[in-house]
Structure 1
């Protein structure tokens, strides 16, 4: 029987398990969803699925690079607690993921999770680990960076922040310094040319509205807004920021002094963009006292 995308989607919605796991279960049962669910429960996949809805905002960002410094990859693997983020089984799984991503030059999570190690896909290894540890574990994202005409460097700040930066010109020390700067200063773009026009226009509208409240003449407001826009661009662009190791020098001046250019950079921080539930135990107790 042909296994359709709709069947895989239905099984995923019922179990919460990964796509590869659901497809495998359907193939083994010739498309019988009920039997697939039963088999998944027996194998532990269902146990893992029950945990898949829980927020996994902790974890680790891992970086790996090729020996020739032309390719590097960043991955974020999430779990629920800092305790598990330090567990040797979790760390071993994370190493397997980042190495597989580098070897496969993967550009998406699905490609990485399909990689097999000792006869098991990384998706199956993830499911097994969830069943063993008892926490939701997810490979959230993967980013590949390649630079054939230059070099790629990286920096990790503990387990929480990872940076990959690709440059032309410069040297290994410069690339490491740039990666450390990006980890600390968190720029959004390399230069002004990359800032979307819509974002810049929105910021300008906000600044104009703020300046108009001052009651100053239009020509003064225009100068005020112009200055604030320049300051805004310096804050969000890599080349406009003061270099963290020498604040008297911008990153742009540093690059010029080394005859170098930044081609691309990627910065991952564990849990960024994930809403993590914060339990309010006072409200919880009060609600119980009120009988709610």
Structure 2
């Protein structure tokens, strides 16, 4: 059996983040073979990941970042089981590292992001490895990409929510407006940019809800449809970003606020991820 030194254990711990005893056991099992010990720790993570696959991972962190030229942005949600892990700086740094890799490569999907390299292995394999290190379920739960003339990020409530907002212009005043709108998204949680972007199935459901409410209120059948459409318009005002009342000035909508900055300024798209 190879002589396992404290320096060997520390080297493996620095590489993997696993506990000192786990590193020592892996080195002993691998008879001092460093690469084999890493594989043993990864296998442990995979086994633990399978055991915890059905567990809920509602805690975690959301990271929103933009490129240096501010024309691309990403937001990711890295989930875990407990608030204790979510608040750990190493976990936050890990999520930030994944977001940085996303920003460098601009993958289109979560699966593409997971397949990108993080050191000698993929992001997804590193997540599995961290399951063994931390001892609870960890997953890359969500990922969104946005590209526009200007993209502005916002992280809300200690990494519990993240927003990226795309605008059709750039510049200092436009960026400030973008920050205001990003905070609006985090606070008011719009479901779409405007009424044209709302899923038709949601519109159909809201119309049916409006009709049923009108009937329960005893309204005549011949005006049920009109009442339902009126309720739908109110739904659009409350739930679509450009039509929402601007939180910093209830006298204007978000669309009107943007036009007060520049008559042609508007939001091209937004992405919002949150825990839960």
TM band (smaller chain): 0.7 to 0.9
CA contact (8 A) 2:41 2:132 kept: no
Shift of 1:221: 4.1
**Count of residues in correspondence between the two structures:** 231
Would the alpha carbon gap of residues 224 and 117 (structure 1) be closer, same or farther in structure 2, given more than 3 Å must change? closer
Aligned to 1:74: 75
What's 2:202 paired with? 199
User: Separation in 1 of the partners of 2:41 and 2:93?
Assistant: 25
Name the CA distance, whole Å, in 2 between partners of 1:254 and 1:65. 23
1:242 to 236, 245, 262: 245
CA distance in 2, matches of 1:42, 1:85: 21
- 1:154 alignment partner in structure 2: 153
Instruction: Give a deviation string over 1:153-191, Cα, whole Å, max 9, x none.
Output: 011102111001101136110000000000000001111
Residue 176 (1) aligns with residue 175 (2)? no
Q: Any conservation in 2 of the 1:41–1:47 contact (CA below 8 Å)? A: no
The equivalent of 2:14 in structure 1 is none
Q: Return the alpha-carbon distance in structure 2 between the equivalents of residues 42 and 112 of structure 1.
A: 20
| 1:193 alignment partner, SS class | helix
- The CA deviation string for residues 57-86 of structure 1, in whole angstroms up to 9 with x for no partner, is 110111111011000001110000000001
CA distance in 2, matches of 1:77, 1:216: 49
Whole-angstrom CA distance in 2 between matches of 1:214 and 1:161: 38
Instruction: Return the alpha-carbon distance in structure 1 between the equivalents of residues 126 and 203 of structure 2.
Output: 45
SS of match in other structure, 1:166: strand
TM-score (structure 2 length as normaliser) = 0.77
1:143 aligns with 2:144: yes
Q: Which moved more, 1:74-83 or 1:251-260?
A: 251-260
- Structure 2: segments with no counterpart, 5+ residues: 1-38
Runs of 4+ in 1 over 6 A off after TM superposition: 39-42
Question: Which secondary structure state, in structure 2, belongs to the residue aligned with residue 171 of structure 1?
Answer: helix
In the superposition, relative to structure 1, how do residues 244 and 42 fare at CA in structure 2: closer, same or farther (>3 Å)?
Answer: closer
1:130 corresponding residue in structure 2 = 131
C-alpha contact (below 8 Å) 2:127/2:138 kept by paired residues: yes
Residues 72 and 164 of structure 1 are in contact (CA less than 8 Å); yes or no, is this contact kept in structure 2? Answer: yes
SS of 1:156's equivalent in the other structure is strand
Shift of 1:222: 4.8
Partner of 1:264: 269
Would the alpha carbon gap of residues 230 and 86 (structure 1) be closer, same or farther in structure 2, given more than 3 Å must change?
same
Q: Displacement, 1:41? A: 8.2
Measured against aligned partners, the alpha-carbon deviations of 1:13-35 in whole angstroms (never above 9, x if no partner) come to: xxxxxxxxxxxxxxxxxxxxxxx
The Cα of 1:199 is off from its aligned counterpart by 2.4
- Kept in 1: contact 2:210–2:229 (CA 8 A): no
Distance 1:129 1:227, change over 3 A: same
Pairwise CA distance, 1:220:
5.0
Q: Distance in 1 between matches of 2:175 and 2:196?
A: 26
